[in-house]
């Protein structure tokens, strides 16, 4: 579904990604793990059309989307739940969700998707008219996911969905990602929380200093000595 080939990205003189290649098949969960500053967010931003790569190719559903602006990438079906949630704090919860459905592909499905999301996150329905900035961290994360789903995506890139959340809420969030995946959503899960995300994913990639250092099945990577030493402290 998504193929990334030899992707290199620079921020000024600093290289964020160096020849990254990966592929995601339809219907799977792929985990990208790595320490802070390994290039995980750069990868998502570049695939999402928010940053131009200096080299390499990105293909989604067979279409070359390299260098496309973000609104076109989104409209092709690539959604993202960004790091830091990036909700609209001074707009109501409902307005936030509506903003997710501004894409041409999602406009007609707005009412149906809204109902679906309210079913998934009843809390958002209760707080529909409240300013999004007044929500708790967990609720804001729900809103970020709900807003993304309003765009009727086929692939969703989750950037650190567990960051800054209480452990119980993290489990809740991961359960939701698993449910969405079972309903057919392809997921790319980018996490510092290596153990959790590799357990959830079918495939994983380990990103270090902008390069893919390891790839393999989720369980296989979890059993790898290098991963255990570097990320799990075992």
Largest Cα–Cα distance of the chain, in whole Å? 50
Site for other proteins in 185-224 (CB under 8 A): none
Told to check if 69 binds other proteins by CB under 8 A, we report yes
Stretch in the footprint of other proteins (CB under 8 A) among 25-33, 65-73, 121-129, 218-226: 65-73
Give the nearer residue to other proteins in terms of CB position, either 89 or 122: 89
Instruction: Report in angstroms how near the CB of residue 167 gets to other proteins at its nearest.
Output: 26
Coil, strand or helix: which one is 23? strand
Distance CA 116, CA 94 (A): 14
DSSP 8-state symbol, 56: E
Told to check if 75 binds other proteins by CB under 8 A, we report yes
> Which of 35, 91, 195, 213 is the binder for other proteins (CB under 8 A)?
91
> Which of 48, 146, 204, 210 is the binder for other proteins (CB under 8 A)?
48
> How many residues sit in the footprint of other proteins (CB under 8 A)?
26
Site for other proteins in 16-45 (CB under 8 A): none
Stretch in the footprint of other proteins (CB under 8 A) among 21-29, 93-101, 194-202, 211-219: 93-101
> Which of 3, 5, 28, 98 is the binder for other proteins (CB under 8 A)?
98
Distance CA 158, CA 167 (A): 17
Told to check if 82 binds other proteins by CB under 8 A, we report yes
Give the nearer residue to other proteins in terms of CB position, either 102 or 195: 102
Residues 6+ apart with CB under 8 A from 194: 33, 227, 231, 232
> Which of 26, 37, 64, 89 is the binder for other proteins (CB under 8 A)?
89
Angle, vertex CA 113, rays to CA 111 and CA 118, nearest 5: 95
Stretch in the footprint of other proteins (CB under 8 A) among 24-32, 98-106, 187-195, 203-211: 98-106
- Cβ contact 47:157 at 8 Å: yes
The DSSP bridge partners found for residue 15 are: 10
Token output for 52: 């131009």
Query: Rg for the chain (alpha carbons), in Å?
Result: 17
Helices (H), 106-159: 110-120, 122-126, 137-149
Told to check if 128 binds other proteins by CB under 8 A, we report no
Distance CA 147, CA 96 (A): 7
Token output for 28: 């799977």
Binding site for other proteins (CB under 8 A): 48, 50, 69-71, 73-75, 80, 82, 84, 86-91, 95, 98-100, 102-103, 147-148, 151
């Amino acid at each position: 579904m998504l193929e990334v080939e030899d992707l290199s990205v620079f921020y000024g003189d600093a290289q964020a990604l160096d020849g990254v290649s990966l592929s995601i098949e339809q219907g799977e969960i792929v985990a990208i793990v790595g320490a802070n500053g390994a290039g995980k967010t750069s990868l998502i931003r570049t695939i999402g059309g928010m940053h131009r790569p200096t080299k390499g190719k990105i293909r989604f559903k067979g279409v070359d989307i390299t260098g496309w602006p973000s609104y076109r990438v989104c409209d092709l079906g690539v959604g993202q739940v960004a790091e830091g949630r990036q909700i609209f704090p001074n707009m109501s919860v409902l307005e936030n969700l509506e903003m997710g459905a501004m894409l041409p592909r999602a406009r007609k499905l707005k009412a149906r998707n809204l109902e679906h999301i309210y079913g998934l996150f009843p809390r958002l329905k209760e707080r529909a008219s409240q300013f999004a900035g007044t929500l708790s961290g967990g609720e804001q994360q729900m809103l970020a996911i709900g807003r993304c789903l309003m765009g009727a995506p086929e692939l969703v890139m989750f950037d650190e969905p567990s960051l800054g959340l209480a452990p119980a809420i993290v489990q809740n969030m991961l359960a939701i990602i698993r449910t969405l995946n079972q309903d057919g959503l392809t997921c790319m899960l980018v996490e510092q929380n290596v153990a959790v995300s590799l357990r959830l994913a079918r495939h994983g990639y380990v990103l270090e200093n902008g390069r893919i250092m390891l790839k393999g099945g989720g369980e296989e990577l979890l059993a790898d000595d290098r991963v255990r030493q570097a990320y799990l402290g075992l």
